[in-house]
Amino acid sequence: MLTPLEIEIISLSLRVAIWAVLFGLPLAIAAAWVLARTRFPGKALVDGALHLPLVVPPVIVGFTLLVLFGRQGAIGSVLHDWIGFSFAFDWKGAALASGVMAFPLMVRAIRLSIEAIDQRIETAARTLGATRLRVFATITLPLALPGILSGTVLAFARSLGEFGATITFVSNIPGETRTLPLAVFSLMQVPGADEAILRLVLVSIVIALAALVLSEALSRRVTARIRGAAQ
């Protein structure tokens, strides 16, 4: 049904998106908690910086990543010299670019659901002997689950569609960084590839739709479980 090339493109895209979300999620939860529950000078600035990828052109994000994480970049050169790890021109770079672009979406959704939790419930847990860490693990995290789920799906979908930052940072290398959107873009440069393009478009729609339906079903189950909290 799918050609080997298509399978390669799809599995690369899924791998990039999954790793982007997997690495982004713990950081996003931490950032969301800090923004929702703490006050410190310069918080507005941090908040703004976290949202930057949403508002600056993706090509700027890609270029910044190149400067920071490229072989000669400030962080990239250190990583390469010390542990031989490199983002440059392979799928890990694509995952980093996708993750950075999707990060604000994840933080936003999780932060909203943490802010919706009644802090008096967390206080009650502390009078029952729970440390801040245990309160976070047993009260905050489970009650924020709907937001974490929707943030994850949103970020996953955003990662699958990432184009500008990826092509700027790690270029368009078949089998390495050529994800679905980049493949469609490449095919559009070739005359008479309309059918191939159409097939990839359909595949994108199916994957995105499946993710949405799955998350909807999951979040309905989770919300039913903690309905008391939503009221």
Partner 1 sequence: MIDVTIKKSFGSFNLDARFESHGDVTALYGVSGAGKTSIVNAIAGLSRPDAGHITVGDAALYDSERPIFQPPERRGIGYVFQEDRLFPHMTVRRNLLYGSRRAGGHSEGLDLETVITLLGIDHLLDRLPHRLSGGEKQRVAIGRAVLSRPRLLLMDEPLANLDTARRDEILPFLQKTCSDLAVPIVYVSHAIDEITRLADTLVVLDKGKTLAVGPVSEITARLDLGPLVDRRDAGTILDGKIAAHDSTYQLTTVSFQGGLLLIPTIDGAVGDHLRLRIQARDIAIATTTPDNISTLNCLGGTITQVGEPRQAHQDIQIDVGIPILARVTRRSAMELGLEPGREITALIKSVAVERAAMP
Q: Please give the residue ranges that form the binding site for partner 1 (CB under 8 A).
A: 118, 120-121, 123-131, 138-139, 142-143, 225-229, 231
In the complex with partner 1, the residue whose CB is nearer, 124 or 188, is 124
Question: Residue 203 phi/psi, 5° resolution?
Answer: -60, -45
The string of DSSP letters for 120-183 reads HHHHHHHHTT--HHHHIIIIIHHHTHHHHHHHHHHHHHHHHT--HHHHHHH---TTTT--HHHH
- Closest distance to partner 1 from the beta carbon of 120 (Å): 6
Residue 212, classified by CB atoms within 10 Å of its CB into exposed (0-12), middle (13-18) or buried (19+), is middle
- Closest distance to partner 1 from the beta carbon of 39 (Å): 17
- Closest distance to partner 1 from the beta carbon of 89 (Å): 45
In the complex with partner 1, the residue whose CB is nearer, 129 or 191, is 129
In the complex with partner 1, the residue whose CB is nearer, 34 or 135, is 135
- Closest distance to partner 1 from the beta carbon of 172 (Å): 46
Dist CA 168 CA 65 (whole Å): 9
In the complex with partner 1, the residue whose CB is nearer, 42 or 228, is 228
In the complex with partner 1, the residue whose CB is nearer, 72 or 123, is 123
- Closest distance to partner 1 from the beta carbon of 35 (Å): 23
Cα–Cα–Cα angle for 98, 64, 84, rounded to 5 degrees: 75
SS3 state at 185: helix
